[in-house]
Amino acid sequence: MSLIKVVTLIYSILHLAFTRFSRDDGWAFASHVALLVILALFPFLIFGAALAAFLGSGQFSDTAIHVIFDAWPKSIAEPLTNEIHNVLNQQRGDLLTYGALGALVFASNGVEALRVALNRAYRVSDHRNWLVTRFQSLLFVFIGCIVLLSISIFLVLLPLAKSLALNHMPWISPYLELGGIRPELITIGVLIVGLFACHKWLPAGDRSYASIAPGVLFTLVCWVPASLGFASYLEGFSTYINTYAGLAGIMIALVFLYMIAAIFIIGAEINSATAYIINGENK
């Protein structure tokens, strides 16, 4: 295929995707997703902290904050992380009973919001029983907590494993330094796996990983400049943020998630447009 045809194809896909996004009330769905995600964030972390306490791991909160917020601009993430530290560091006796179960159910609402947006973007009707879809959402939240818990345990055990390796095999030291695992790489890995999981299993129907890849790539590529641009924009409002951090932090995070959710939905629209233009699907 010639370069001109490739450029024409990409333009056609992007034009159709953005047209569908506007026609499908994409901005309204993005606001719906952003609101429910911000409302589900604290219950998700509370349930994760309760589960970590039950399993005897005290590193969950720090690991979860790093994995979730390391990809956020500092000016946006810092007010939220301060509040999350305050919430998770409180001792609660009910977290392993009704409080944890309620947090689990409430956190699953964020997953349900993603499902509705993806079904609309992929032009599919979800005829599954609501108990099935709700159970899937609860499972997503539970697996997310298990993944963060596993990462926290791994990060605790990694220095011990390195120390043992150096004691018994000193010659391996240069290789350990070259092969060090940075938290940023873990965040990117979790993000990529999470995006593929959302596109693959949340909406109705079946899609191959290859058909999901364009939207995931678009999302990852656009999230970075969008985040940096929004952070630069906020620099002009630093006094306002410092003065009203309690409210401003949440509102700024909500606007940030609104922008991120819109890019995520456009990614699904790109997958749908690609399937329509190339294979005649998703009319």
Band of the pLDDT at 178, cuts 50, 70, 90? Answer: very low
DSSP 203: S
Calpha distance 283→20 (Å, rounded): 11
In a domain, 137, yes or no: yes
- What is the average pLDDT across 160-179? 58
In a domain, 3, yes or no: no
Calpha distance 170→175 (Å, rounded): 10
In a domain, 45, yes or no: yes
User: Is the CB of residue 202 less than 8 Å from the CB of residue 138?
Assistant: no
In a domain, 47, yes or no: yes
In a domain, 128, yes or no: yes
| pLDDT tens, position by position, 33-82 | 988 888 787 777 777 766 666 665 556 667 777 667 766 777 677 767 77
- pTM tops 0.85: no
In a domain, 133, yes or no: yes
Tokens linked to 44: 């998700």
Per-residue pLDDT at 189? 82
Domain that holds residue 178: 9-279
Per-residue pLDDT at 142? 82
In a domain, 2, yes or no: no
Domain count for the chain, please give it.
1
In a domain, 4, yes or no: no
| pLDDT tens, position by position, 74-112 | 767 776 777 676 666 665 555 444 556 677 777 888 899
One-letter identity of residue 117: A
Per-residue pLDDT at 145? 73
| pLDDT tens, position by position, 190-234 | 888 999 999 999 999 889 999 999 999 999 999 888 887 877 777
Q: What is the mean pLDDT of the chain?
A: 77
With vertex at residue 33, the alpha carbon angle to CA 27 and CA 102, rounded to the nearest 5 degrees, is: 160
